[in-house]
Amino acid sequence: MRIIPAIDIINGQCVRLTKGDYSTKKVYNKNPLEVAKMFEDIGINHLHVVDLDGAKAHHIINHKILETIATKTRLKVDFGGGLKSDEDLKIAFESGANQITGGSIAVKNSSKFLDWLETYGSDKIILGADCLDQKIAIQGWQEESDQEVLEFIKDYVTKGISYVICTDIAKDGMLQGPSFDLYETILNTITPVKLIASGGISNFDELPKLADLGCEGVIIGKAIYEGNIALKQLETYQLNHL
């Protein structure tokens, strides 16, 4: 299972929110590159970068930070937040994104999202399935749709999606543990899918459990920044699973 630390960006700074609420913003570092290099130094290979300004503005904003991380580290970055147009996608990939994540666009404009999937391939396009009470949430989690998360993922997997990041918003930033039951249901119901767990990771012991369920990756944010999971633990995990 891949360990994928998260860097969320507002005003060029590394922040975390709780349940996607912008009013809960906490700045952890003013230099995202410094944070990215810290992860690279312990053997991390992948990074999840979210342009929270972009999510609010509905178009890419923090692509310069993406470019800086991509050019000054060897990290493979998946990038999301506000990607709505072909131009947004072009900018993201030209700025060094290895993959992009589309959430709201996959709900609001599925034909556009499927065009991207066809153009760039399933290794480059990740489906963002963010949910609250099993319903897909969009627009930076400010809006709930009527789509059930299981059906939403299943539909896109039949259309060629391989990678899915599933975040239970109720868990995000709460440090109370991830949605094991939800992930187990997805993995038992939908095949094949490369499921990346996101939201609620609170301690290191949860990582082997997610791996045992069959998660392809796990995104970890606040648990690292708050010191609940030590970088040394992640370094050891990486070394043991090479």
- pTM assigned to the model: 0.96
> What integer pLDDT is reported at residue 41 of this predicted model?
97
> What integer pLDDT is reported at residue 237 of this predicted model?
93
> Which DSSP category does 26 fall into?
E
> Which DSSP category does 221 fall into?
-
The predicted-structure confidence for 82-91, as pLDDT tens digits, reads as follows 999 999 999 9
pLDDT band at 26 (very low <50, low <70, confident <90, very high): very high
Q: Which helix (H) or strand (E) holds 32?
A: helix 32-41
pLDDT band at 241 (very low <50, low <70, confident <90, very high): confident
| Averaged pLDDT for residues 145-155 | 93
> What integer pLDDT is reported at residue 67 of this predicted model?
98
**Could you give the CA distance from residue 213 to residue 6 in angstroms, rounded to a whole number?**
21
Catalytic, 146? Answer no
Could you give the domains of the chain? 2-240 (3.20.20.70)
Residue 86: other Cβ atoms inside 10 A: 12
**Could you give the CA distance from residue 23 to residue 156 in angstroms, rounded to a whole number?**
32
CA 102 from chain centre, in angstroms, equals 10
The predicted-structure confidence for 160-219, as pLDDT tens digits, reads as follows 999 999 999 888 878 899 999 999 999 999 999 999 999 999 999 999 999 999 999 999
> What integer pLDDT is reported at residue 210 of this predicted model?
98
**Could you give the CA distance from residue 130 to residue 140 in angstroms, rounded to a whole number?**
9
- In the set 8, 53, 88, 168, the catalytic residue is 8
Q: Specify whether the CB–CB gap between 6 and 41 falls below 8 A.
A: no
Q: Which helix (H) or strand (E) holds 71?
A: helix 63-72
> Which DSSP category does 215 fall into?
-
The predicted-structure confidence for 47-79, as pLDDT tens digits, reads as follows 999 999 999 899 999 999 999 999 999 999 999
Catalytic, 130? Answer yes
- In the set 51, 130, 168, 172, the catalytic residue is 130
**Could you give the CA distance from residue 190 to residue 144 in angstroms, rounded to a whole number?**
23
The predicted-structure confidence for 93-149, as pLDDT tens digits, reads as follows 999 999 999 998 999 999 999 999 999 999 999 999 999 888 998 765 566 678 999
